[in-house]
Chain A
Amino acid sequence: MSAGSVPSGYEVNDPGYPTPQENYLTNSKGILSWAFTLDHKRIGMMYLIGVSSAFLLGGLLALGIRLHLFAPDGILFNNALFQWLAPDKAPNDIYNQVFTLHGAIMVFLFIIPSIPAALGNFLVPVMLGAKDVAFPRLNLSSFYLWVGGALFFVMALLASGLDTGWTFYTPYSTTTDSSVILATTGAFILGFSSIFTGLNFIVTINTMRPPGMTWFRMPLFLWATYSTSIIQVLATPVLGITLLLLIAERTLHIGIFDPEYNGDPVTFQHFFWFYSHPAVYIMILPAFGIISELISVHSHKRIFGYRFIAYSSIAIALLSFIVWGHHMFTSGMSPITTIIFSALTFTVSVPSAIKVFNWVATMFKGSISLTTPMVYAIAFIFLFTIGGLTGLHLGTLATDMHLHDTYFVVAHFHYVMVGGTVVSFLGGVFHWWPKMVGKMYSEAGGLLSAALVFIGFNLTFLPQFILGSRGMPRRYATYDPEFAPLHQMSTYGALILGAGLFVALFVLLMSLYNGKKAPANPWGGATLEWNCTSPPPFYNFERPPVVGDPYEFGDIRWDTELDRYVKVEPQRERVPSETPAETPAHASE
């Protein structure tokens, strides 16, 4: 359809391209204008760079783990280079530190902040049609807290490493001589960063929705962010207190966790998982939000079961607080407690399943464009479904007795965390990249990265389900030779996966140099962020955007003359003289 075919009485709404001055990337210059910026978009971009660097580091450590495990007695860390780097450490010690740092960096520095802090920061205000988040200064401080926490992790790495596993289980963590205090201090600071981000989003979404945007006209990404924020604010303090207690136990021997001073180590596990189980949903809920957007926009079809998806986000957030005990089925809780936790655990699978069904139903009879974000979204549904279904084996008590703390668990949570969060994060980055930087990336390169990630990921982690059910315990630096073929498959997969991620990075970076200019609405989305230019101007919108249904694709048309999507709206009569006083959104609720 071309602009000429617009029926009379309708107007074409096309923001076109930004002028150099009105673009948030260029409206002020110099490193200080970034360092002290209060603009949520710039903070989001800084977060994106930060979490991506953390991901790169954590990913390299993961490759180290896989290369070491290529042979039963270990390869990589037996190498002379490592003996020279760490002369007083056995290969097993180096392996233990590498898997610990891989886990800690990936969880605390990457997966938890990736979507909410990087993409969320950029998108929440734009999707709301707002100028910024409610507390811009709090937002900047949350970024610097993240940097501070990351520095503590780096210090721990440079001091004497960390070998407790990312879970810091006592009494190992109170007795080992590695840098537990530095790392827990880092995690403590990162907790504040997470709480500030969550708090900011809750207030932003509650108070800054524009007139006309009711709760049920909010894009599902905002529902997901809102649910995530609730968990961040309520659960993170528990982790903070737990880590402080751990530090106190280590230095003052107060006798809470360490049996040597009449403490109980299992108490630590209860405290720790009371945070860290909800934290699993901090990692996956925003991914659900991204996928809901991606599937709907690239199918050009209303999301199926909007309310069920929205409610299921909230349900997951609430249920996440009462299932932590399933991490401890084998720790010696009373049978009745164990059985109750098993029953509660099954309840979480219902809202997760609802989402999967709804996404697939959304694609039914849609108009699907197999773009890079859409391919990542499809990969997500496939991988997350496997991750979710194998959770049933672990929630079931009789089978968990066999599978707990084996590679089955490793495979399960990587399917959820990597297959889920990382894949959706990548899909989200590709989806919003044109909006963020104003450039289109190479579609062929993007699809190649998605294919490599999908193949490499499955080759890495499918064999681990078999390893685990055959009895291979996790966190082993060496293993029995009969497990070798499966470990080798897994290592080859990790190399392919790593290659796919590097292709993704390369494609995105190359787009900055030779990418085509991005139009305001490259995919034909109906949410508000596609109403401003790409990249957005400093204050996001020239005038307050008209709030519509975020999944109404009827008035988004492909314009062949302009070669881009435009919005076609019925012409409204301009209000001649005075505008009515605006009622704030929260007052009308």
Chain B
Amino acid sequence: MMSLLGDYTSSKLSVFPKSASSFSGESDWVFHFITIVCVVFFIPIAIALFGFAWKYRKAKGEPADSQVDHNTTLELVWSIGPSFLLVVMFYFGARGYLDMRSIPEGAYNVGVDAYKWGWGMNYGNGVIHPELHVVAGEPTKLTMTSKDVIHSLYIPSFRVKKDIVPGRYNYIWFKAMEPSEKVMTDEECKQLADKDKEENLSWDYDARQCTPDGYNFYDLYCAEYCGTNHSEMQTVVVAHETQEELDAWIKKYSSRGPDESPAAYGAKLYERRGCKSCHSIDGSRLVGPSYKGSYGTMRDIVGGSQVKVDENYIRESILNPKAKVAIEQGVAYQPVMPSYKGQLSDDDIYSLIEFIKSLGDASAAEEASESPAEEAAEMASEEAAEAASADAEPVSVE
């Protein structure tokens, strides 16, 4: 879990999270305006309510002092009077809303893919990462779609929210006003990430108050109920100082490095692209089957037949997940995985397959037991697993 508010609000008693976008000033101003109007109406009502109840208490049977039952002038005044204030509220609300709906031309465009239960921010050229990175002071436009059910993108500090509806694009834009600070050097980050690897943990945004790249951040929540892990569907927004800094960050995640093994890169994709929220690598049953030791095994699928978990099956399961739904211990998994067609390159899929292989390869073990090269094969798979875990850079957010 992330904890941020303690850091970016002025006090524990603050009504709002930090105001950090070009909209939040107006939104807060309108909120306070309405609240003041409400209080101005509420206090006299409450005083009259309790005051009359106390002042006009009488013994049983004593008649009331007055039986006046209408006063048309008074009633018209309190019916029509407040309407003017309502018009003012409506006007300010609509004005602020139109600002949010008028997307400036030339805004920096990020694609957003929402799925159960994670985020894929698409920076173009195949760079997809769960964190949202933007440039402070520049308008950013999000083109959002969902792969499964309705989600909703909500950044409290920016006071923006928009539902993400499958089957259509919804848009939102904002201008982050303050750049995120770099609170940890790359060195420190690397040390912490290495420590995580040893203990097989993912990056703890909550405890460290910064991203794995060392920036502090704003929360980003899913606000439309979307099933089991709705409350875990969170990520972060980082506002960079300059476009160059953002470009450098994007480049860092652009693709598999020249000397990076496919299995190690597959491990990164597993973290970044949301596989992690449904498939475990320690054998526990989540929403989907665990990857651990699955490669090369035979698997029951819905419809009564069996299929061998090999390259083709994994590829098919990534591109067309509902084709062969696994059954484990007599219980079928829910066919809820979205298709990654067009989302992953061939190299990405290959890397993921290599990563899954590295988590225990039953077919290799089988072959090994038949051949004298048993030890060699085992060693090879162990090495791959080591490589995978050593280079894995967990970035997904819990």
Contact = CB atoms under 8 A, between A and B. Distances in A.
Contacts of B5: 470-471, 480, 482-483
B369 interface: no
Interface stretch (B39-47, B300-308, B378-386): B39-47
Interface stretch (A281-289, A382-390, A436-444): A382-390
Interface residues of B, number: 98
Interface string A305-322: 111100000000000000
Interface in B187-227: 206, 219, 221-227
Nearest to B6: A482
Interface string A145-171: 000000000000000000101000101
Interface string B92-111: 11111110110000000000
Interface in A555-577: 557-558, 560, 565
Given A72-B1, A378-B53, A481-B206, A367 B15 contact: no
A368 B67 contact: no
A306 to B, nearest CB: 6
A343 B90 contact: yes
Given A473-B222, A480-B5, A402 B159 contact: yes
A402 B331 contact: no
Contact of B154 (A306, A395, A405): A405
B96 A470 contact: no
B251 interface: no
Contact of A367 (B63, B90, B206, B227): B63
A96 B230 contact: yes
A90 B228 contact: yes
Given A392-B38, A402-B27, A479-B231, A172 B97 contact: no
B126 interface: no
Contacts of B100: 398, 401
A222 B227 CA distance: 43
B37 to A, nearest CB: 8
B182 interface: no
B53 A404 contact: no
A260 B321 CA distance: 14
A482 B35 contact: no
Contacts of A353: 78-79, 82
Interface string A292-305: 00000001111111
Nearest to B93: A396
Given A401-B27, A558-B61, A96 B228 contact: yes
A78 interface: no
A553 B64 contact: yes
B60 to A, nearest CB: 5
Contacts of B250: none
Nearest to A1: B61
A573 B9 CA distance: 79
Interface in A239-279: 259-260, 262-266
Contacts of A560: 61
B66 A397 contact: no
Contact of A350 (B49, B83, B221): B83
B225 A475 contact: yes
B64 A301 contact: yes
A163 B225 CA distance: 10
Nearest to B87: A346
A172 B58 contact: no
A319 to B, nearest CB: 13
A335 B96 CA distance: 12
A399 B27 contact: yes
A149 B68 CA distance: 47
B31 A393 contact: yes
Contacts of A396: 30, 34, 89-90, 92-93
B296 interface: no
A363 B56 contact: yes
B4 to A, nearest CB: 7
A304 B72 CA distance: 10
Nearest to A165: B225
B34 to A, nearest CB: 5
B93 A398 contact: yes
A369 interface: yes
B243 interface: no
B35 A171 contact: no
B86 A350 contact: yes
A381 B26 CA distance: 32
A420 to B, nearest CB: 15
Interface string A414-455: 000000000000000000000000000000000000000000
Given A301-B64, A482-B4, A401 B227 contact: no
Contacts of A1: 61
B204 to A, nearest CB: 12
B230 A176 contact: no
Contacts of B63: 300, 367, 553-554
Contact of A480 (B42, B56, B58, B219): B219
A366 B49 CA distance: 12
A428 B385 CA distance: 69
B228 A93 contact: yes
Interface string A168-181: 01011001110000
B67 A390 contact: no
Contacts of A509: none
Interface stretch (B160-168, B256-264, B267-275, B348-356): B160-168
B154 A473 contact: yes
Interface string A91-110: 01100100000000000000
A397 B96 contact: yes
B14 interface: yes
A476 B31 CA distance: 24
Interface of A: 1, 72-73, 88, 90, 92-93, 96, 163, 165, 169, 171-172, 175-177, 259-260, 262-266, 299-308, 329-332, 335, 338-339, 342-343, 346, 349-350, 353-354, 356-358, 360-361, 363-370, 374, 378, 381-382, 385-386, 389-390, 392-393, 395-402, 404-406, 466, 469-471, 473-483, 485, 524, 551, 553-554, 557-558, 560, 565
21 contacts: A92-B228, A96-B230, A265-B166, A301-B66, A332-B163, A332-B168, A335-B97, A350-B86, A354-B79, A368-B58, A396-B90, A396-B93, A398-B26, A401-B100, A401-B160, A470-B9, A470-B15, A471-B154, A474-B223, A474-B225, A485-B12
Task: Please list the 3 inter-chain residue pairs (A to B) with the smallest Cβ-Cβ separation, ordered nearest first.
Answer: A558-B61, A471-B156, A398-B96
